[in-house]
């Protein structure tokens, strides 16, 4: 029998859903993300001398409260989003492969990792992030669960909710990345820690993932997702999963072949731009690096993928060697940071880049704790990043089409390249150079800049004024291997740069909830978003409306009914 639902009740439900809208790709395009490893960022006690056994991969004491206490440090670089490590409960054992401090060895999806703090601590962090107008991106893993032991010894009962072998693929090892079927259905890990591969192609597994992510996003007001090992999951898994999540997501696909990784980009909507990353490192990792591969990859990736302006652009993360290990040249570091923040996509800066930290993949010294730097806000690269992020925010606020425009290479020689991004009259020109800090002064002549004769422009990193010549040449002075960011002087007002007034108002973040089917958060959860407040108020109205409907229905008092 159908259920009779009054139209005005449906209207209230719809209104509540609209008020609690999720953060979409369009919302995230304007954001600049700071990546945090929860265990290695900041401790609750504020210590900057606490030891950390990085080599053996042990927990070191970073926490959600520690992040909350250092949000000023992050916002001091003008970031308006943070990406934090996975939050769910991990395998508890110490193993020869280390502890589960990174968060990628989950055992219970419905419990939090007590090493990072309490539910109240996590709510407090997210509430404070939203109060500051920032977004929070949560790292998650859907490919596998983890067990401390070899594949033959796995006790599936320890996993929640996937507590039976039927939810997992039979064991086979991933031996490389050339066989995509093997990558998707076989197990990663070691004899010490088995990464037990889920049957993500099965309806039951997909249902369980959908239920979990809708609750997680709703209960914690998550704004976006970073999906670990996305390339190890069949692409068609993600469409339904992301509908359940209801928020923007970007996926990890660590391969450099853009024709392959675009399969995940087109399904998820965004991936971390590894094809660009690898060629960026080759171009700027030494003073003899060639820019040709980077420029070629810019265009081939754009040809093979639907929308590269939705990708996450990065130059360091916890899975790759830090740039400082390739070269300690500060000018080179400034160039890759300028590329990361000014190029197409959503910029992501990894904790410690601002302190010029070093570290290799093995033995994971690229995950050293940030607190040993004492959170130095006078560090040269800290200030450099702050200026770049502020500049990007001004450029996209000054021109709506800037953020979706594709960068074009307008100049190239062996050591220098120039990119143009944005519409005519408000275009941004980024000039990069890999000569290093020991190089002398020289000039380059730009012709394909699209600026009118006589246009005055400003180089925003040095606050130097330049003018397009009467014959259309823009002469750009270069030196000491430093990058240049050029923008029409006319539109520098209210940028907060070079003494040009206070910055324009930035968009605020109110937190997000999941789709309507997601469970309603319990009353014990803090009200950390305007959307949640509006929905709560309308929910009270809904309760009254339902009570009224019962009385009216008993007396036949409805004039208009909808049979659903």
By annotation, the residues acting in catalysis are 228, 252
Check if the beta carbon of residue 365 is closer than 8 Å to that of residue 54.
yes
Confirm whether residue 441 is marked as ligand binding: no
What is the DSSP annotation of 284-341?
HSSTT--SHHHHHHHHHHHHHSS-GGGSEEES--TTS--GGGT---HHHHHHHHHHHH
Confirm whether residue 209 is marked as ligand binding: no
Check if the beta carbon of residue 211 is closer than 8 Å to that of residue 160.
no
Token code pair at residue 318: 């916890």
Helix (H) or strand (E) holding 49: none
The 8-class DSSP code of residue 540 comes to: H
Cα–Cα dist 30/79, whole Å = 11
Confirm whether residue 105 is marked as ligand binding: yes
Confirm whether residue 438 is marked as ligand binding: no
Check if the beta carbon of residue 418 is closer than 8 Å to that of residue 446.
yes
What is the DSSP annotation of 125-156?
HHHHHHHTT-EEEEEEE-SEEEESS-GGG--G
Confirm whether residue 144 is marked as ligand binding: yes
446 Cβ neighbours under 8 A, 6+ residues apart: 410, 411, 418, 429, 431, 473, 474, 475, 476
Cα–Cα dist 273/250, whole Å = 10
Cα–Cα dist 47/63, whole Å = 12
288 Cβ neighbours under 8 A, 6+ residues apart: none
Confirm whether residue 318 is marked as ligand binding: no
Q: Identify the bridge partners of residue 251 per DSSP, sorted by sequence position.
A: 227, 271
Token code pair at residue 128: 């404070």
| Cis ω for the linkage preceding 462 (within 30 of 0) | no
Helix segments in 29-82, DSSP class H: 38-41, 64-69, 71-75
Binding site listing for substrate: 105, 144, 226, 256, 319, 367
Annotated binding site: 105, 144, 226, 256, 319, 367
């Amino acid at each position: 029998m159908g259920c009779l639902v009054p139209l005005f009740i449906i209207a209230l439900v719809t209104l509540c859903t609209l008020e609690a809208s999720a953060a979409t790709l369009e919302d995230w395009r304007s954001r600049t993300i700071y990546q945090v490893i929860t265990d290695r960022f900041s401790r609750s006690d504020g210590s900057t001398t606490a030891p950390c056994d990085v080599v053996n991969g042990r927990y070191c004491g970073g926490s959600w409260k520690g992040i909350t206490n250092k949000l000023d440090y992050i916002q001091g670089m003008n970031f308006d989003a943070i990406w934090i490590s996975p939050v769910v409960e991990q395998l508890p054992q110490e193993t020869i492969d280390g502890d589960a401090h990174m968060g990628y060895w989950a055992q219970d999806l419905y419990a939090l990792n007590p090493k990072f703090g309490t539910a109240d601590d996590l709510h407090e962090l997210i509430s404070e992030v939203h109060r500051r107008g920032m977004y929070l991106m949560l790292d998650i893993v859907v490919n596998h669960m983890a067990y401390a032991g070899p594949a033959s010894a796995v006790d599936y009962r320890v996993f929640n909710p996937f507590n039976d072998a039927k939810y997992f693929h039979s064991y086979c090892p991933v031996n490389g990345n050339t066989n995509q079927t093997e990558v998707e259905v076989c197990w990663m890990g070691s004899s010490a820690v088995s990464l037990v591969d889920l049957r993500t192609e099965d309806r039951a597994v997909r249902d369980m993932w959908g239920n979990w992510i809708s609750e997680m996003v709703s209960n914690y007001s998550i704004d976006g997702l970073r999906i670990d090992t996305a390339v190890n999951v069949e692409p068609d898994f993600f469409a339904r999963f992301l509908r359940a999540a209801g928020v923007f997501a970007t996926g990890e696909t660590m391969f450099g072949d853009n024709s392959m990784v675009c399969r995940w980009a087109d399904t998820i909507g965004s991936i971390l731009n590894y094809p660009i990353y690898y060629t960026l490192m080759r171009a700027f990792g030494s003073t003899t690096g060639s820019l040709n591969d980077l420029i070629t990859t810019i265009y081939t990736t754009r040809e093979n993928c639907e929308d590269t302006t939705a990708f996450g652009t990065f130059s360091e993360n916890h899975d790759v060697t830090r740039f400082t290990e390739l070269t300690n040249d500060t000018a080179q570091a400034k160039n890759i940071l300028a590329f990361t923040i000014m190029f197409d996509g959503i910029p992501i800066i990894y904790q410690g880049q601002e302190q010029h930290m070093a570290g290799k993949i093995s033995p994971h010294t690229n995950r050293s704790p940030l607190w040993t730097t004492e959170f130095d806000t006078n560090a040269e690269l800290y200030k450099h990043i702050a200026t770049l992020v502020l500049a990007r925010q001004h450029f996209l606020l000054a021109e709506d089409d800037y953020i979706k425009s594709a960068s074009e290479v307008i100049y190239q020689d062996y050591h220098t390249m120039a990119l143009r991004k944005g519409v005519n009259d408000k275009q941004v020109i980024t000039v990069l150079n890999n000569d290093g800090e020991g190089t002398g002064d020289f000039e380059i002549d730009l012709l394909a800049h699209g600026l009118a004769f006589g246009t005055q422009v400003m180089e925003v990193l040095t606050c130097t004024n330049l003018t397009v010549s009467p014959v259309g040449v823009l002469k750009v002075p270069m030196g000491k291997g430093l990058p240049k960011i050029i923008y029409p002087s006319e539109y520098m007002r209210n940028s907060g740069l070079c003494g040009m007034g206070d910055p324009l108002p930035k968009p605020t973040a109110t937190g997000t909830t999941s789709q309507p089917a997601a469970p309603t958060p319990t009353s014990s959860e803090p009200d950390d978003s305007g959307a949640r407040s509006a929905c709560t108020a309308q929910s009270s109205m809904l309760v009254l409306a339902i009570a009224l409907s019962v009385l009216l229905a008993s007396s036949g008092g409805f004039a208009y009914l909808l049979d659903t």
